[in-house]
Amino acid sequence: MTSWIEVSEQRLAGNLRALMESVGAETEVLAVVKANAYGHGIELCSVALARAGVPWLGVADASEGARVRRALDAAGLARIDQPAILAMCGFLPEDVEAIAEHALTPVVWTAEQVGWLQGSGSAVHVEVDTGMARQGVHPGAELVDLLSEIQAANLLLDGVLTHFCAAEVAHSKLTQAQQWRFEATVAQVRDKGLAPRWIHAGSSSSVDNPPQDAPWLAKLAKTVGARPMVRCGIALYGYCLPIEQGRNRASQTLDRGGAQTALRSTLRPVMAWKTRILSLRELSTGETVGYNATFAAPRPMRLAMLPVGYADGLRREMSSTNARPGGWVMLRGRDAVDRRAPIVGRVSMNLTMVDVTGIDGLHVGDEVVLLGDGITADDHARLAETISYEVLCAVRAG
């Protein structure tokens, strides 16, 4: 094993509690565990979140939903006590059997999808496209026709949802426009004589950066006698996108900073990604390190080699040169104080070199933290000019 992941169920539950407190007692939290729980392990996290009391788990598709349901069953949780599972990213005809077998609730937005489910008696959630232009039925006549198809197919309309495209932008006019469209959507559902149990919109960023007219969602849900719900993913795992000020994301450069919001200050990273020192070597002044000799030792140095690289998800952008510092790892010296060890040279496919000069008591086999306390996914993302989501999902331990 070249590297491994440790997941703190205690921190996961703590982050869930922070989200629940932020949204208030009248709003529920759907815990998103798609993409292998953002790299944290879908089975482990689903069981931990179910035991913590979440009413819904969100997966990408029927295959993930089946994995979650089997994990909940294997954990000894009675079906009646298990959270509902929302398959959020669509399905194909061959998935219908798994949807029924594992009691999944699919998101639908086309008459074709409704037709595949006809006669199954399934509960469904309808997604409305209020501005994301990705998946969802258009409000207006198209929505009315879809609702009629659902009624004719003898399916239960259990929920109505939308997804915001700029939830991390403060005072976003895009979000406000989407809210107005969703309000009109819910009115259409009410006028059709349907009474969904759930009205949901928003994400971790929506909790961190609530609408100006909060509790907007709770008020909207009341108009049809439904429960409000937000779908939270990244915050469960200890992260949030920075709140962007004044402009929409499409018109500004990436900003990986972000002030500490009330929610963000309570979150703690759930994942620790670790490896071990594979070898140690001494370097003389002027010796170069790694591909293309992008780093030359400015003085005698001691380096540790780690058996991980970009094939494992350690971003190549973490590389360094003499002119440009890169990323770092955390290790522990003889004094038991956590120390930064800078990455030197290029991160390669399976190996990475770090500077351990002056850190006493190191041995081959000593533990090294690649992600965790002292070096977070936000740190990786800032260097790679990406987001913490991509960093976490890319980790491939083993």
Catalytic residue positions, numbered: 34, 291
Residues 194 and 158 sit within 8 Å (Cβ to Cβ): no
Closest-CA residue to 219 (of 191, 187, 188, 174): 187
Say how many C-beta atoms besides its own lie within 10 A of residue 396's C-beta.
15
Phi-psi domain of 318 (left: phi exceeds 0; alpha: psi -120 through 50; beta: other): alpha
Provide the 3-class DSSP secondary structure of residue 260.
coil
Residues 305 and 334 sit within 8 Å (Cβ to Cβ): no
DSSP secondary structure, 51-81, as one string: HTT-SEEEESSHHHHHHHHHHHHHTT--GGG
* DSSP designation for 237: G
* DSSP designation for 27: S
Closest-CA residue to 86 (of 159, 141, 19, 148): 159
Residues 168, 246: Cα–Cα separation, whole Å: 11
Burial class (CB in 10 A: 0-12, 13-18, 19+), 394: middle
Q: Are strands 156-161 and 198-200 parallel, antiparallel or unpaired?
A: parallel
Torsion of CA 180, 133, 24, 216, to 10 degrees: 0
* Token output for 254: 């990436």
Cα angle 29, 31, 37 (rounded to 5 degrees) comes to 165
* Token output for 160: 């109505």
Q: In sequence order, what are the beta bridge partners of 199? A: 160, 228
Amino acid identity, position 84:
A
Residues 320 and 326 sit within 8 Å (Cβ to Cβ): yes
Cα angle 369, 372, 377 (rounded to 5 degrees) comes to 115
Residues 131, 134: Cα–Cα separation, whole Å: 8
Residues 127, 109: Cα–Cα separation, whole Å: 6
